Structure 1
Amino acid sequence: MINTIIFDIGNVLTGFEWKAFFQKFGYSEEILDRISKATVESGTWAEYDRGALSDEEIMNAFIANDPGIERELRESLENIQGMLIRYDYAIPWIKELKGKGYRVLVLSNFASRAASDCKDALDFLEYVDGGILSYKEKFIKPQPEIYELLIDRYQLNPTECVFLDDTLANLTAAEKFGIHTVHFQNKKQAEMELSKLGVK
């Protein structure tokens, strides 16, 4: 019987409005593409999520990926307020699940700068029962250590948990611990998948 619902944050409870955020700076499509390749599409992004580097170190690492857009990278990433949007359903869904007796946790690769600058989008965190954000622990999904940490910290029985994430590699890693998983595409689809596991 499922008693714990574990949510990823990005693309599950929040949306990552990458291009919409950067377009407000008036960048061309070429610059937008270069910013994306220097940051989210680079291996450096994992270090951003992991929190192993300071803000200045990670900025310098992004710039090293494409020195020709240093000005644009600094301008846009020194304050990423507004990059994330919280989905309207996030808080009501969490409250509904908790009202039915489920424990609700989060497990997310999340950078300290994003946590600092996007507080408005993360207001649902006060409603959950806990969880792990990668930058606080220095592990990122799909590293097994982050799942082990969650299980140990919250004394979870993996077979009584279900994890919702939009990334298959993260789900595959969770399944190795016996955790049920739902590949999140949208709330309606996720609720249908949860109902098959007995979550009402």
Structure 2
Amino acid sequence: MVKAVIFDMGGILLDFPMLKLTAAYSHTAEDACLLEQVIFKSPEWVALDRGLVSEEQVLSAARERLPERLHDNAARVIEHWDEYLFPKPEMNALARELDALGVPLYLLSNTSARFYRFRDKIEVWPLLRGALLSFEEKLLKPDPELYRRLFPRFGLSPGECFFIDDLHLNVEGARWCGMKAFCYQNDISRLRAALREAGIPAALER
């Protein structure tokens, strides 16, 4: 029976519409797509979440791949990216219900050091009993070692944990480490059904 629920952040508790962000600092749709690809799909952005590079290094690498006319645009995108993080209402509501039922809630996220600047955008942040963050651990999901650190850190047993992520690879990594897991694709009814099946009380029925 599940005794703890662990949430991913991006795509779960928060939305991050990258193309909306880059479009706000571009003049054309083509430039917005290029900025999204060069910044957020880059190896440097991955390394940022791993805690190995700075945002300044991400910008420097992006400028090397962009035409000079977009250098200032890239700087503004990186300066303001956390302003385009928005709470997902249905998931935060679910988290509040779980907390009211006495289910401990945790966060496991690939994220950068800017997390502590925007964490209050997570509506249920005060309800979370702990967070394991990639940049602090120098590891990224779906590395099994990152998942394994959850259990001794917070006194959890893998078989009693239910993990929610929006990426199949991350969900499979959690299952490989012994957790129940669900890949959330904006179908809250399916998630609620999966939680009930895992032993969460029927108060989650809707």
TM-score by length of 2: 0.88
Q: Please name the residue that 1:173 is paired with.
A: 173
Whether 1:56 and 2:94 are equivalent positions in the alignment is: no
Give, in whole Å, the separation in 2 of the partners of 1:27 and 1:135: 33
Matched-pair contact (CA < 8 Å) for 1:94–1:128: no
Deviations 1:123-148 (A, max 9, x none): 42222111212122221111122111
Give the aligned residue type for 2:168: L
Q: Please name the residue that 1:12 is paired with.
A: 12
Matched-pair contact (CA < 8 Å) for 2:106–2:131: yes
Q: Please name the residue that 2:204 is paired with.
A: none
Give the aligned residue type for 2:100: G
Give the aligned residue type for 1:39: I
- State the 1:199 CA deviation: 1.5
Give, in whole Å, the separation in 2 of the partners of 1:179 and 1:64: 42
Over 3 Å counting, the alpha-carbon distance change for 1:32 and 1:138 in structure 2 is same
Q: Please name the residue that 1:41 is paired with.
A: 41
Over 3 Å counting, the alpha-carbon distance change for 1:62 and 1:92 in structure 2 is same
- State the 1:65 CA deviation: 3.5
Give the aligned residue type for 1:167: L
Moved over 6 A (4+): none
Deviations 1:3-52 (A, max 9, x none): 00000011111111212222222431111111111122222221121121
Whether 1:25 and 2:25 are equivalent positions in the alignment is: yes
Matched-pair contact (CA < 8 Å) for 1:115–1:122: no
Moved more, 123-132 or 3-12: 123-132
Summarize the alignment of residues 1-200 of structure 1 with structure 2, pairs less than 5 Å apart: 1-66=1-66, 68=68, 69-113=70-114, 115-116=116-117, 118-186=118-186, 187-200=188-201
Give, in whole Å, the separation in 2 of the partners of 1:179 and 1:163: 7
Give the aligned residue type for 2:99: K
Give the aligned residue type for 1:77: I
RMSD (CA atoms): 1.8
Over 3 Å counting, the alpha-carbon distance change for 1:101 and 1:165 in structure 2 is same
Matched-pair contact (CA < 8 Å) for 2:159–2:179: yes
- State the 1:188 CA deviation: 2.2
Matched-pair contact (CA < 8 Å) for 1:80–1:114: no
Give, in whole Å, the separation in 1 of the partners of 2:110 and 2:116: 11
- State the 1:175 CA deviation: 1.0
Matched-pair contact (CA < 8 Å) for 1:2–1:162: yes
Give, in whole Å, the separation in 2 of the partners of 1:115 and 1:26: 27
Deviations 1:71-109 (A, max 9, x none): 211122122242110122344322211221211001011
Give the aligned residue type for 2:150: L
Give, in whole Å, the separation in 1 of the partners of 2:45 and 2:59: 11
Matched-pair contact (CA < 8 Å) for 1:90–1:124: no
Give, in whole Å, the separation in 2 of the partners of 1:133 and 1:62: 24
Q: Unpaired segments of 5 or more residues in structure 1?
A: none
Give, in whole Å, the separation in 2 of the partners of 1:63 and 1:51: 21
TM-score by length of 1: 0.90
- State the 1:70 CA deviation: 1.9
